[in-house]
Copies of this chain bind each other. A is one copy, B any other.
Amino acid sequence: MKIYKKAILPKGFLASAMASGIKRPGKLDLALIYSSAPARAACVFTANKIKAAPILVNKEHLKKSKTFQAVIVNSANANCFTGSRGLKDARATAVSLAAYLGIKKESVLVNSTGIIARPLPLDKIKKAIPALIEQLSEQGMDKAKLAIMTTDTFAKEIGVKFNIGKEEVTVCGIAKGAGMIAPNMATMLAFIFTDADISQAALKKALGRAADSSFNCITVDGCMSTNDTVAVLANGLAKNSRITGGASFDLFVNALHLVCLELAKMVVRDAEGGTKFIRIEVKGASSVKDAKAAALSIANSNLVKTAIYGQNPNFGRIASAVGASGITVREEDLKIKVSPLEKKEVNIVVGAGKGKGSAVVYTSDLTPEYIKINAEYN
């Protein structure tokens, strides 16, 4: 597998981006990724009971349609908590884009990220659509990755190439997200594109598996967003023999997992106000579920996060967070190791001394800058 630090578009995909005026003038805020061939799609959405309008619309589309050709994303407005108007706006976005592209509206995935509870500026989006389509190109990801950003300080992208038989398959992805990041998931959008030929069932299974040990293992502030989406589109143009299971499925899952994990880690590295990238491994728990619960409890502890910010190795706070997770653990069995805190990358390893369950979670520290960003946002 070859890994690229760029989201190299797979065969048949084109992208573009525009400054439509949702952000301040001249700032890219609208992205389109288009597949010339109908693609299968799988999505994972936020577990928040309040879901943004575009998620509700995408869920409808995923039920109704078997193929997808367009992903449109606006930043600076989440179109969430916007009631029936929000739903109408999300649907109108899909209808308008589909009409210009000459595809069914159900073949469009609509996505929004940004401030909650403000009406979507639909006119600006509709007005930008013709030029957005006009500008579609193989280099379009260079702009699209920027247009989906909100408080992100850098664009998040990755690409991998690998062979299935003699055919070269590409998987690439872009993501945004810097705060409101919690497992299951975050104000995090990730869009993954591949030219692999893969059955619908296999694609869904592959995404579930890849997301579970990547996007669902990161947390910045424990706040679960209303808009989180990971979407993957597979258009089959690599012409590999169709993946349904077996070795080719494993190869694909490996590639997809790598793309998901790298994007997820980039989101943590860009955590609002974060100065540390923290890897937390819990091993020796009674089960994987327990290990993950303990790792997340540590990762979401404001006291652990501030201690790491202060370069203050406070083992007691880590132990306390493990205990607070409610997993079966005895004080005398706990083993805690923390790498030197002066470095930007911090590694916490906790041995629970109970069984064979292990899990890794990624997070950032909690800093005055996080508070500044989130007190002043809006």
Q: Give chain A's interface residues, CB within 8 Å of chain B.
A: 47-51, 78, 80-81, 83-84, 115-117, 179-180, 182, 221-226, 300-303, 306-307, 309-310, 312, 314-317, 319-329, 331-332, 334, 366-368, 370-372, 374-378
Contact = CB atoms under 8 A, between A and B. Distances in A.
B332 A83 contact: yes
Q: Which of A48, A84, A374 has the most CB of B within 10 A?
A: A374
Given A48-B323, A374-B302, A117 B315 contact: yes
A83 B332 CA distance: 6
Contacts of A225: 320
B83 A378 contact: no
Contacts of A303: 179-180, 221, 223, 374
A116 B303 CA distance: 12
Which 9 A-B residue pairs are closest in the complex by CB-CB distance?
A: A116-B316, A310-B375, A50-B323, A306-B374, A368-B368, A117-B316, A224-B324, A49-B323, A48-B323
Given A180-B303, A303-B180, A317-B116, A226 B323 contact: yes
B117 A306 contact: no
A80 to B, nearest CB: 6
A223 B301 contact: yes
Nearest to A369: B368
Contacts of A319: 50, 81, 116-117, 226
A309 B317 CA distance: 25
Nearest to A53: B331
Given A116-B315, A302-B370, 17 more contacts: A47-B324, A49-B324, A78-B316, A81-B331, A83-B332, A117-B315, A179-B303, A180-B320, A182-B324, A221-B303, A222-B300, A223-B324, A303-B374, A307-B378, A309-B375, A312-B375, A314-B378
Given A302-B223, A316-B81, A323-B49, A371 B376 contact: no
Contact of A367 (B312, B371, B377): B371
A223 to B, nearest CB: 5
Contacts of A180: 303, 320
A87 to B, nearest CB: 10
A8 B83 CA distance: 54
A321 B222 CA distance: 10
Nearest to A321: B223
Contacts of A367: 371
Nearest to A118: B316
B221 A320 contact: no
Nearest to A311: B375
A368 B376 CA distance: 13
A40 to B, nearest CB: 29
A310 B374 contact: yes
A315 B327 CA distance: 34
A116 B314 contact: yes
Given A83-B331, A331-B81, A371 B374 contact: no
A117 to B, nearest CB: 4
A368 B374 contact: no
A316 B179 contact: no
Contact of A320 (B50, B306, B331, B366): B50
B306 A50 contact: no
A377 B180 CA distance: 26
Contact of A370 (B49, B306, B322, B328): B306
Contacts of A323: 48-51, 224, 226
Contact of A316 (B51, B80, B368, B375): B80
A45 to B, nearest CB: 12
A312 B368 contact: no
